[in-house]
Structure 1
């Protein structure tokens, strides 16, 4: 049996929902890996909106996109994910094919600056409203840092509370590795079940 790493599994699932000309959000730009992935998925006719509270993260993301020559597909916002509804164009409401979150802290950055339930949960709720039918919300949870376990528990409680008539929810986790990252994937149903 081949068990895919959480991040590669997240990308494989999101890739099924995002097509050429699509619209997507990277809610936690970080080092730009998910932003780049989404920009490649949407192609030259699509658009990606990426958010981060750290200017350092946005600079890294912009550099990564520029090196690939696709920075024009992405709008970067120096803002928290809980503010995305203030920045996303109104015409994208209900049309996002994917919203991706990698919670925790910026790798190779200040580990004291972390995502927190009080901003993450409103951002997740906003994401469900802005998703298109058939769109997916991907949340990678990290528990190996202070505050990570608490945030993961809040996210899992939130995900379990979503209506099964409106959403399908999956939790992917390695059971034999302590503090391994896990994935919550939420798919907005195309029609109510």
Structure 2
């Protein structure tokens, strides 16, 4: 079993994805989450992957093609606009990786205001029992403002409609990432 943040999040969300699921990779990056979602959504499912960086779009297209999946739609647009492409209460799983593109320009990173707006958009898209996985990074390159803003926002989400789980790598140093999950209850 792997305890890397993305592997941990994948393990947690797997029970919410099956053949025919509608899934979103809100931060396509290098395509790792997109391929994971394609595999679990199956031939009858659909994966929407969003990114605003051309390098991320190309990396994701390449990964999906190399993996042989044909159930992904890779969208060169901000995750803030996901409701343009998705119906409300139609999505089984949404994954976010906040921060910068691994191997890319560290000066280009997600920002607190748009990240929170995208989470809100995603909550509207989640169906009952749908799950959102959040990999929240902070530190020297990505700063702490976004992490603190996201964590503060998560505390405010309506507890009658959503369950929010936040976990920590409690004994790790150097600002370890924070995995969080939001499950739609109603």
TM-score band by shorter chain is over 0.9
Q: Give the direction of change, closer, same or farther, for the CA distance of 1:40–1:179 in structure 2 (3 Å limit).
A: same
- RMSD between aligned alpha carbons? 1.4
1:20 and 1:3, CA in 2 relative to 1: closer, same or farther beyond 3 A? closer
Aligned residue among 120, 123, 132 for 2:127: 132
Contact kept, 8 Å, 2:106 with 2:142, in 1: the verdict is no
Q: Secondary structure of 2:130's partner?
A: strand
Structure 2 residue runs of 5 or longer lacking an equivalent are none
Answer whether contact 2:25 2:48 (CA < 8 A) is retained: yes
Q: Distance in 1 between matches of 2:165 and 2:106?
A: 28
> Which residue pairs with 1:66 in the alignment?
65
- Deviation, structure 1 residue 56: 0.6
Once the 2 structures are TM-superposed, how far is the Cα of residue 170 of structure 1 from its aligned partner? 0.7
Superposition deviation, residue 148 in structure 1: 3.3
Q: TM-score, normalised by structure 1?
A: 0.92
Matched residue pairs, number?
185
Whether the aligned pair in 2 keeps the contact of 1:104 and 1:114 (CA below 8 Å) is yes
Q: Is the 8 Å Cα contact of residues 30 and 106 (structure 1) preserved in structure 2?
A: yes
Decide whether aligned partners of structure 1 residues 79 and 145 sit closer, same or farther in structure 2, where only a CA change above 3 A counts.
Answer: farther
In 2, Cα distance between equivalents of 1:116 and 1:58 = 19
Is 2:180 the partner of 1:181? no
- Secondary structure of the residue that 2:144 maps to in structure 1? helix
Q: Distance in 1 between matches of 2:88 and 2:168?
A: 31
Contact 1:116 1:147 in 2 (8 A): no
1:159 to 149, 154, 158: 154
**Unaligned 5+ residue runs, structure 1?**
none
